[in-house]
Amino acid sequence: MQEAALERPPDELGTTLDAELVHHARPLGLGGAHGDMERLGDVAVRVPVCEQNGRRLLALGQRVLRHDTTLPAGAAPDIGRSTDPHAAMYGGIYSRRAMRRPVLVVNAGSTSLKLTAVAIGEESSPVESLEAAPRVAAVGHRIVHGGERLQEPTLIDRDVVDELEHLVDLAPLHNAPAVAAIAAARRALPDLPHVAVFDTAFHHSLPAVARTYLLPSRFRERGIRRFGFHGLSVQWAAERVPVPRLVVCHLGGGSSITAVLDGRSIDTTMGFTPLEGVPGATRPGPVDPGSLLYLLREGVSAAELDRALEHESGLTGLAGTGDVAALERDPSPHAALALDVYAYRVSQAVAAMAAALGGLDAIVFTGGVGEHSAIVRAAVCRRLGFLGVVVDESANETATGEAAVSSGGSTVRVEVVPAREDVVIARAVRKLLDTD
């Protein structure tokens, strides 16, 4: 039988592997100088095992949630030297043959749950349910908010799930369904690696001037700063429209506007939570914090205020529904005002991001509303004419898939790019598990 040493992953991955993986492996009853022999997948690998705090751990020297990069006591110093380059991927746990299969992507958003199987060639196909999933290599989960500690793509274990549960209050519309989806997916597919990929990661490049709130240090020291969201969608849009100065309008159930300079996020409208920024289906967008303090002093409970801001505001609060297509068909003045306020706030944000960029080369519309509402795109761009933005009415109204909708006289490209968060997630999963 072929034997391969476990290959130590890069320190910056920020992942944790514990006894769960050993538990799922079938012991072969073999031993060696550096640990037990376990059979994982298609190859036998030498798994260095040690005891720490009463738990049986894989001694991989990986970073745990508290940023501890030290090897556990008893770990062999030569861990990480592969003896067979064809034997295994990511420390010998997943075989190259397995990684040729699709990656199942679980995207639990604020208004939808999407399951897709993304092939190695990045073709994707919808999956009806976890039980109907095809044979896949791994499962990737979109996680909106990872806080300070969870940033890079991370193998999901008990510690990661615990951390995500603690972060639910920061993004309740997203993290709560994501945690539930992780539990369901791990029950349905217990023998596969599950990887968390974070929406906040693309915004790690935010400069201090953009991420810092002007609050007392005692609050900032508690981690209050701008994180930014929709990073997976923005990353895809920036790849599809690679210009130096780009503004990405992700408009959907939640909406955000991001300034991308030479492929890096330098400012974005969402902040410490997804509540900040432009309005969405149920979130209000810009609100004077003093008005919220007033409501609290007047007897509105924190729970009621939380519910109103997350679930009852935005387009829903003004017109009774967050469905933009329904509002476009509705002749009532409330519907017209809701759409007008929405486009007004989005155009304001685009102009602000153009200022952050020092100019504007292109605007991308993405997300459910950005991709499908010609009315919203036109309304936003009309307000941006002073920046040289001009939309071709015919191209805008007939746009499907990736499409250019700016006119020949526009000095700024206007593009529609369907969101492909599933592809970005699948890439991240393969990169984490594949040492090629």
Which structural domain, as residue segments, surrounds residue 316?
Answer: 208-420
Asked whether residue 330 is domain-assigned, the answer is: yes
Bridge pairing between strands 362-366 and 413-416: parallel
Cα 108 to Cα 115: distance, rounded to the nearest angstrom: 9
Do 84 and 104 belong together in one domain? no
Query: Which one has a higher pLDDT value, 311 or 150?
Result: 311
Asked whether residue 111 is domain-assigned, the answer is: yes
Domain final residue, candidates 70, 90, 110:
90
Cα 150 to Cα 1: distance, rounded to the nearest angstrom: 38
Bridge pairing between strands 3-5 and 43-47: parallel
Asked whether residue 180 is domain-assigned, the answer is: yes
What is the value of pTM for the model shown? Answer: 0.76
Do 362 and 222 belong together in one domain? yes
How does residue 99 score in pLDDT terms, banded at 50, 70 and 90? confident
306: domain CATH number is 3.30.420.40
Which residue, 165, 151, 245, is CA-closest to 201?
Answer: 151
Do 225 and 349 belong together in one domain? yes
Domain final residue, candidates 141, 175, 198:
198
Tens of pLDDT, residue by residue over 336-352, are 999 999 999 999 999 99
Tens of pLDDT, residue by residue over 239-278, are 999 999 999 999 999 999 999 999 999 999 999 999 999 9
Do 242 and 377 belong together in one domain? yes
Can you tell me the mean pLDDT for 204-211? 96
Asked whether residue 432 is domain-assigned, the answer is: no
Cα 428 to Cα 195: distance, rounded to the nearest angstrom: 9
Residues assigned a catalytic role: 199
Do 223 and 160 belong together in one domain? no
How does residue 409 score in pLDDT terms, banded at 50, 70 and 90? very high
Do 315 and 371 belong together in one domain? yes
Do 252 and 179 belong together in one domain? no
Domain final residue, candidates 170, 198, 226:
198
Asked whether residue 428 is domain-assigned, the answer is: no
Q: What is the largest CA-CA distance in the chain?
A: 77
Do 269 and 368 belong together in one domain? yes
Counted domains in the chain? 3
